[in-house]
């Protein structure tokens, strides 16, 4: 079974440019997460989806970040415009059901470098 697939793996952009990341969760997983991981830190939640609904976007910087999961499967995360401080690894994760004890399966992430 394929895991969580993210693309691209690496992205280098100049500040003020837009960038988008794509995530394909594990088939059948209704819950999808986007996390940001800075170097030497643990992942921080940006947004959580249940199917196509964003049920927790409280930590998403909405002035420049947006996300969508139109059909409740794939998801995209966009930054416009990017700032130097956005350099990080953006991780997508999915889980098969909503539950506090449900493990999340992570993708390998997209490493963003803003120059």
Partner 1 sequence: GQNIDQPTEMTATEGAIVQINCTYQTSGFNGLFWYQQHAGEAPTFLSYNVLDGLEEKGRFSSFLSRSKGYSYLLLKELQMKDSASYLCAVTNDYKLSFGAGTTVTVRA
Q: Which residues bind partner 1 (CB under 8 A)?
A: 3-4, 33, 40-45, 48, 55-56, 91, 98, 100-101, 103-109
43 versus 86: smaller Cβ distance to partner 1: 43
Determine if the peptide bond prior to 77 is cis (ω within 30°): no
How far apart are CB 57 and partner 1 at their closest, in Å?
12
Place of tokens 């959580």: 48
Cα distances from 94 to residues 6, 32, 58, 79, 86, in angstroms, run 12, 4, 18, 21, 23
35 versus 65: smaller Cβ distance to partner 1: 35
How far apart are CB 80 and partner 1 at their closest, in Å?
26
């Amino acid at each position: 079974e394929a895991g969580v697939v993210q693309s691209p793996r690496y992205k280098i952009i100049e500040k003020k440019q837009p960038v988008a990341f794509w995530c394909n969760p594990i088939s059948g997983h209704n819950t999808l997460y986007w996390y940001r991981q800075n170097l030497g830190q643990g992942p921080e939640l940006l947004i959580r989806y249940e199917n196509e609904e964003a049920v927790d976007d409280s930590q998403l910087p909405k002035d420049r970040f947006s996300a969508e999961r139109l059909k409740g499967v794939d998801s995209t995360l966009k930054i416009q415009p990017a700032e130097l401080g956005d350099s990080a690894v953006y991780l997508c994760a999915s889980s098969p059901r909503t539950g506090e004890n449900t493990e999340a399966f992570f993708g390998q992430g997209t490493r963003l470098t803003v120059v």
